């Protein structure tokens, strides 16, 4: 499988570190592309890959194309934009699509990929930058099972755990729920710590009590100190949190289901974008709840 040529479209925080990891493991990373030409050149030079100016060249240079872009429109653009897209000359190619986007977008693009005689897998990530660099992502995979099995080696190399979820669209539904619950927990932690500070409680003591009781959560481990210290270096942006909670909102609407906690959380992250705080880490939601801050 290491004879496969691999290309990346979208080489920001996650994509660039996934590419670095595969390069370290002796995979052939042959081409990269990003909307930022400067970033494309820098990562291409680092990896010894081709810096592509157009998408068709990416497809021509690889057997497997990994896409890590930010939203639905970006995905439609790279697969269907008139004049230049990834499906030009795509016969026999495999697309591993790691973006957190709506399930219907995955379904639409999988159909277009199949019509171009290529294969499409969702490879939704539930991890962060350091896991991308270390090859310890948690990946949820959806699409044709035979395609999953044929490409399992490269997926295993990028991950610590794989979960095959079924037909196209299913992995992105699971990912939307993962991020919905994570975002709700993050907002709840910010409110708990913010209220604790307003009440004059020792926040180190409060965190320790939270960790030993029903208030414990994964975000307590990852975000609590950053909330207190106002250290919001971006690992998962508040803008992405708003987007992902919005995907869950849309799924709930389709299911005719009310999700008031998710609605409130999405509104908080949307407020961060309005205040110009969207590029802070999701822990930055504490800026809306701690006394004396932007809220």
Give a yes or no: residue 160 inside a domain.
Answer: yes
Q: Name the domain boundary from 121, 144, 168.
A: 168
Pair (146, 276) in one structural domain: no
Averaged confidence pLDDT in the chain? 96
Average pLDDT over residues 125-154: 94
| Residues 284 and 207 both lie in one domain | yes
Q: Give Cβ neighbours of residue 141 (< 8 Å, ≥ 6 apart).
A: 121, 122, 123, 124, 148, 155, 162, 163, 164, 165, 171
What CATH number is associated with residue 56?
3.40.50.720
Tell me how far apart the alpha carbons of residues 239 and 163 are, in angstroms, rounded to a whole number. 26
On whether residue 61 sits in a domain, the answer given is yes
Question: Whole-prediction pTM value?
Answer: 0.91
Which of 129, 152, 168 delimits the end of a domain?
A: 168
Distance CA 264, CA 241 (A): 12
Q: Examine the domain organization and report whether 96 and 224 are in the same domain.
A: no
* Any domain includes 154: yes
Within a domain: 293: no
pLDDT over 80 at 1, yes or no: no
Q: Averaged over 157-168, what is the pLDDT?
A: 95
Does residue 150 fall inside a structural domain? yes
User: CATH number for the domain including 273?
Assistant: 1.10.1040.10
Q: In this structure, is residue 295 part of a structural domain?
A: no
**CB distance 83 to 77 below 8 Å:** no
Do residue 238 and residue 105 come from a single domain? no
Say yes or no: 81 and 220 in one domain: no
Q: What is the pLDDT of residue 2?
A: 80
Same domain, 79 and 133: yes
pLDDT greater than 90 at residue 225: yes
Largest CA distance in the chain: 64
CA atoms within 13 A on the CB side of 118: 24
Check residue 128 and give its pLDDT: 82
pLDDT at 100: 87
Domain extent at residue 187: 175-288
Q: pLDDT > 90: what percent of the chain?
A: 95
Integer-rounded Cα Rg, in Å, for the chain is 20
C-alpha distances out from residue 220 to 153, 185, 189, 201, Å: 34, 9, 7, 17
Decide: helix, strand or coil at residue 122: strand
Residues 92 and 164 in one domain: yes
| Residues 150, 39 share a domain | yes
Q: How many domains in the chain? A: 2
Statement to judge: residues 206 and 75 lie in one domain:
no
**Over 70: is that where the pLDDT of 37 sits?**
yes
Q: What is the pLDDT of residues 259-281, one digit of tens each?
A: 999 999 999 999 999 999 999 99
| 248 and 217 Cβ atoms separated by less than 8 Å | no
Same-domain status, 87 and 52: yes
Please check whether residue 23 lies inside any domain of the structure: yes
Cβ atoms < 10 Å from Cβ of 126: 17
Average pLDDT rounded to a whole number, residues 109-120: 98
Q: Are residues 123 and 247 in the same domain?
A: no
Using an 8 Å Cβ cutoff, are 5 and 62 in contact?
Answer: yes
Domain termination residue (choose one: 110, 137, 168): 168
Residue 283 belongs to a domain: yes
On whether both 164 and 185 belong to a single domain, the answer is: no
pLDDT for residue 295 is more than 60: no
Give the pLDDT of residue 284: 97
Give the start-end residues of each E strand in 150-273: 159-166
Sign of torsion over alpha carbons 232, 177, 76, 2: positive
Residue range 43-61, pLDDT digits in tens = 999 999 999 999 999 999 9
């Amino acid at each position: 499988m290491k004879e496969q040529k691999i290309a990346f479209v979208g080489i920001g925080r996650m994509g660039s570190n996934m590419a670095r990891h595969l390069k370290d493991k002796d995979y052939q990373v042959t081409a990269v592309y990003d909307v930022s030409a400067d970033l494309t050149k820098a990562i291409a030079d680092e990896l010894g890959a081709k810096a592509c100016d157009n998408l068709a060249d990416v497809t021509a240079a690889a057997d497997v194309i990994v896409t890590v872009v930010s939203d639905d429109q970006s995905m439609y653009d790279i697969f269907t934009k008139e004049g230049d897209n990834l499906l030009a000359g795509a016969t026999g190619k495999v697309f591993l699509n790691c973006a957190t986007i709506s399930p219907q977008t995955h379904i639409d693009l999988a159909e277009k990929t199949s019509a171009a005689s290529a294969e499409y897998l969702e490879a939704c990530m539930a991890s962060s930058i350091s896991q991308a660099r270390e090859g310890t992502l948690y990946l949820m995979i959806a699409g044709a099972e035979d395609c999953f099995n044929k490409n399992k080696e490269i997926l295993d190399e990028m991950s610590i755990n794989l979960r095959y979820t079924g037909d196209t669209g299913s992995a992105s539904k699971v990912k939307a729920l993962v991020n919905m619950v994570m975002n709700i927990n993050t907002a709840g932690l910010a409110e708990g710590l913010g209220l604790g500070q307003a009440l004059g409680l020792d926040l180190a003591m409060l965190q320790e009590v939270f960790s030993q009781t029903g208030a414990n959560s994964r975000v307590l481990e990852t975000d609590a100190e950053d909330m207190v210290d106002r250290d919001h270096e971006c690992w998962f942006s508040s803008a992405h949190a708003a987007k992902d909670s919005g995907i869950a909102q849309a799924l709930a609407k389709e299911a005719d289901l009310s999700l008031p906690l998710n609605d409130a959380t999405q509104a908080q992250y949307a407020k961060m974008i309005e205040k110009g705080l969207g590029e802070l880490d999701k822990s930055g939601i504490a800026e809306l709840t701690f006394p004396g801050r932007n809220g």
